[in-house]
Structure 1
Amino acid sequence: MILDYVSIFPEFFAPLQLSLPGKAVAKGLVTFGVHDLRGYTTDRHRTVDDSPYGGGAGMVMKPGPWGEAFDDLTGPGTTIVFTTPSGEPFDQRMAEELAGAEHLLFACGRYEGIDQRVLDHARERAVVREISLGDYVLNGGEVAALAITEAVVRLLPGFMGNAESLVEESHADGLLEYPVYTKPASWRGHEVPEVLLSGDHGRIAAWRRAQAEARTAERRPDLLARTGVVSGLGDLDVRPAVPADAGEVLTLQRACWFQEMEANPGVEIPALRESLDDVRRGLGEWTVMVAREPSTGRLVGAVRGRVDHGEWDIGRIMVAPDLQGRGLGRALLELVQDLAPDDVETYVLFTGARSLDNQRMYKKAGFRMRPDRTSPPGAVVLTKKRISR
């Protein structure tokens, strides 16, 4: 692959000789060419800019030097990349597209930009991509060109020492990457998650997927629509439970609380002992909401609440194991709080003492640990004051 860069500051591209890009050059995978735009000027002052037609602040890059540069550097298979804040947003999919090009020529603008006729002319002789790194403005296009280069060339076969690392990183499958850890297992009071030390590759893969989806839901929910990941109750059919739901609720309950049993070994978990009749009775004694996938009708979530000693007792927040970590649990928690009668002032719930993910979710939602309150064996109680409406 050939990559050329045209800039009035060619020194910006010294990093191309460092680290993995430099090794890729040594392997013959890529060829980098850096060109000073001033070398294509014809006046003794090597002028590359002039004042804008129509008036206004700043200077505009002249078309002449760019035309000469394109005459010299373009050929069959060339894609000219203009790095500009008015371009299409750069992402991993675009990096994959560009990695298939034979020759990338980066046109790095400065000042108020490049004369529009340069772009129009470029389209007559090559494929043109106008690309932006994000919704902000840099002093010039060089930094963007370097960022795009690194994202593109690392996708070339043979560039990465371990090709597997390309599969699991952020955006490879549309999600942000899961958190990573290395030795030591304990550092300054922070522990590596137990699942990563288990040697159980199935559990590790499931944990990583769940973490990636949770991180994406929290930081970049806009990405979830592209992956088909359910991001909240708005994607589901949510309604009060009816007796006919009892069988599916029991199945979901057992799947969810089996995981709780693994996280809290030796703790008696009532949800795992309940029969179908017990679940049916619960549907009559609690306010129970269920969530189904509209396309399949599959029951994927449930939650319940009821008044107990003047407090809104929240329980059985359940999400299908394959959809956990996508924000559904938090959405169900918000839903059940809204169902509390107006005179209720406190929400209360309990979870396993070792169910740290659950505890983090509840604390993030405003619940606080209550060691002063009696809890079932192996569990902890959390409460939250209701905000006056």
Structure 2
Amino acid sequence: MSSTCASAPEHEHAPTIIELGARDAGEILTLQRAAYITEARAHSDFGLPPLTQTLAELQEELSGPAVTACGIRDHGRLIASVRLRHSGDAVELGRLIVAPDRQGQGLGTRLLRHAEAVFPDAREIRLFTGEHSAANIRLYRRLGYCETGRTPAGAYQLRHFVKPLARPGR
């Protein structure tokens, strides 16, 4: 495992953030589908890409050199994950997911804060979410993300957010 995703737990018994890879694709896909059902219901769209992505597609994505995946395991069970794509001076964050029975426990916040530090040369982090994802939008705003625009996605809109990353010496 590389050190890009390893981090010490915030609390003595909190699970650590670890790097994930293609070998974890099955677990990630299971978690992804469980987490995105709520989003699909909120947006009346059960054809969301996270729900239709195949195992082979996910394995290919996770094998790519531009993608870094991090996650949190608790007693061996994958309970949260996020995928990052470093592009120029920006990080594109995607698929920040938390097991439905573990939501509201700060796992998404931990992963999001960690994601902001994975690429020390990045100047900003970008992400998007559906307009009906109220909890996600609250989280992003609370952590300093600003909405930069909206794009249509069928009967709803995707809301785009960005956060400048303050780096020492810049």
Q: How does the TM-score come out when normalised to structure 2? A: 0.83
Give, in whole Å, the separation in 2 of the partners of 1:240 and 1:233: 20
Q: Which residue of 2 aligns with 1:252?
A: 31
1:360 aligns with 2:141: no
- The Cα of 1:281 is off from its aligned counterpart by 1.4
Equivalent residue, structure 2, for 1:311: 90
Q: 1:287 aligns with which of 64, 68, 92?
A: 68
Cα pair distance change 1:366/1:257, threshold 3 Å = same
Computed over aligned residues only, the root mean square deviation of the Cα atoms, in angstroms, reads: 2.2
CA distance in 2, matches of 1:239, 1:337: 15
Q: Which segments of 5 or more consecutive residues in structure 2 lack a partner in the other structure?
A: 1-9
Residue 302 in 1 paired to residue 81 in 2?
A: yes
Q: Could you say what secondary structure the match of 1:305 adopts?
A: strand
Q: 1:233 to 1:299 in 2, by over 3 A?
A: farther
Q: Which has the higher strand share?
A: 2
Distance across 2 between alignment mates of 1:287 and 1:370:
24
Q: Which has the larger radius of gyration?
A: 1
Matched, 1:274 2:16: no
Pair 1:273–1:259, CA change in 2 (3 A): same
Give distance in 2, aligned partners of 1:283 and 1:364.
29
Identity %: 32
Distance 1:308 1:330, change over 3 A: same
SS in 2 for 1:362: helix
Q: Compared with structure 1, are the counterparts of its residues 273 and 376 closer, same or farther at alpha carbon in structure 2 (3 Å cutoff)?
A: farther
Tell me if 1:242 matches 2:13: no
- Residue 41 of structure 2 aligns with which residue? 262
Distance 1:339 1:350, change over 3 A: same
Q: How does 1:89-128 map to 2 (within 5 A)?
A: none
User: Residues 148-227 of structure 1: matches in 2 within 5 Å?
Assistant: none
- The CA distance in 2 between the partners of 1:365 and 1:277, in whole Å, is 34
Cα 1:266/1:242, change in 2 over 3 Å: closer
2:37·2:46 contact (CA, 8 Å) conserved in 1? no
Unaligned runs of 5+ in 1: 1-230
Q: Distance in 1 between matches of 2:93 and 2:81?
A: 11
Partner of 2:124: 346
1:345·1:386 contact (CA, 8 Å) conserved in 2? yes
Equivalent residue pairs, number = 155
Say which structure, 1 or 2, has more relative contact order (CA 8 Å, 6+ apart): 2
Instruction: State the Cα distance separating 1:355 from its structure 2 match.
Output: 0.4
More helix by share: 1
Aligned in 2, Cα 1:283/1:234: closer, same or farther, shift over 3 Å? Answer: farther
What displacement does 1:282 show?
Answer: 1.8
User: In 1, Cα distance between the equivalents of 2:36 and 2:23?
Assistant: 21
Matched, 1:328 2:126: no
Partner of 1:235, secondary structure, is coil
Q: What is the Cα deviation at residue 234 of structure 1?
A: 6.1
What CA distance in whole angstroms lies between the structure 2 residues aligned with 1:284 and 1:240?
13
- Using the TM superposition, give the Cα deviation of residue 379 of structure 1 relative to its aligned residue in structure 2, in angstroms: 1.1
Deviation at 1:290, TM superposition (A): 1.6
